[in-house]
């Protein structure tokens, strides 16, 4: 099995795992877990966000890596699997919000990443992640809570994961160039 395939499968599995982990975190991980509300974590000075934001930010980057290694078809399969999984495991009150936000934001990420990734990989990951996280935050908060109270915190929390992933994306690109590995 070649490098693209092995890494692609690993990214695909990691992408899928972020979904149940994000849903679990929302109900179980936080510095504050108010009754009938998501658990919150600090993401910046005076900013709180539901704890699942960390995994959703990571999912946006992993989806890009699935596409880089396995191609557009597998990226779209990952998005579809993720949306179904999100609907199956989200708490009943969050099923529509979770699956709709996931599906829409990942498709936006796909649409932004695809044309940019061949020429400017790091920029593609950054811009597609930012577009995806803004859409995910808007859709999820509006559908789940009818409020955008945590919008800034959601954007900052997911943004941290994208920014923290950029050095890894740089390393992958450098390694690919050195070894002559091409994106699918």
pLDDT tens, residue by residue, 143-181: 988 989 889 999 999 999 999 999 999 999 999 999 888
Range of the domain at 145: 3-179
Residue 139, judged by CB atoms within 10 A of its CB (0-12, 13-18, 19+), counts as buried
Mean pLDDT value across residues 111-139: 94
DSSP-H helix ranges across the chain = 3-28, 53-70, 72-89, 95-116, 121-145, 151-179
Give the mean pLDDT of the chain.
91
Per-residue pLDDT at 47: 92
The CATH number of whichever domain residue 154 belongs to comes to 1.10.1760
Report pLDDT digits (tens) over 34-86: 887 889 999 999 999 989 899 999 999 999 999 999 999 999 999 999 888 88
**Domain for residue 71, yes or no?**
yes
Per-residue pLDDT at 143: 92
**Domain for residue 151, yes or no?**
yes
- What the block records as the tokens of 116 is 């940019």
**Domain for residue 184, yes or no?**
no
The DSSP letter of residue 37 is S
Task: Answer yes or no: are the C-beta atoms of 64 and 113 closer than 8 Å.
Answer: yes
CA–CA distance, 95 with 112 (Å, rounded to integer) = 26
Share of the chain above pLDDT 90, in %: 68
Per-residue pLDDT at 26: 85
**Domain for residue 81, yes or no?**
yes
**Domain for residue 92, yes or no?**
yes
- Please count the structural domains in the chain: 1
Per-residue pLDDT at 128: 96
Task: Answer yes or no: are the C-beta atoms of 48 and 150 closer than 8 Å.
Answer: yes
**Domain for residue 47, yes or no?**
yes
Per-residue pLDDT at 78: 94
């Amino acid at each position: 099995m070649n490098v693209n395939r092995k890494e692609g499968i690993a990214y695909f599995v990691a992408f899928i795992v972020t979904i149940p982990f994000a849903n679990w975190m929302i109900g179980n991980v936080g510095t504050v877990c108010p009754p009938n509300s998501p658990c919150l974590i600090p993401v910046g000075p005076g900013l709180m966000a539901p704890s699942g934001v960390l995994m959703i930010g990571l999912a946006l980057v992993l989806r890009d890596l699935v596409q880089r290694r396995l191609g557009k078809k597998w990226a779209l399969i990952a998005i579809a699997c993720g949306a179904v999984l999100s609907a199956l495991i989200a708490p009943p009150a969050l099923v529509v919000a979770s699956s709709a936000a996931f599906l829409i934001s990942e498709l936006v990420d796909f649409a932004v990443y695809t044309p940019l990734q061949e020429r400017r990989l790091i920029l593609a990951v950054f811009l597609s992640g930012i577009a995806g996280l803004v859409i995910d935050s808007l859709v999820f908060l509006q559908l789940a809570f009818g409020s955008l109270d945590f919008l800034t915190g959601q954007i900052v929390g997911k943004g941290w994961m994208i920014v923290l992933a950029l050095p890894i994306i740089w390393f992958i690109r450098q390694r690919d160039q050195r070894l002559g590995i091409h994106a699918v």
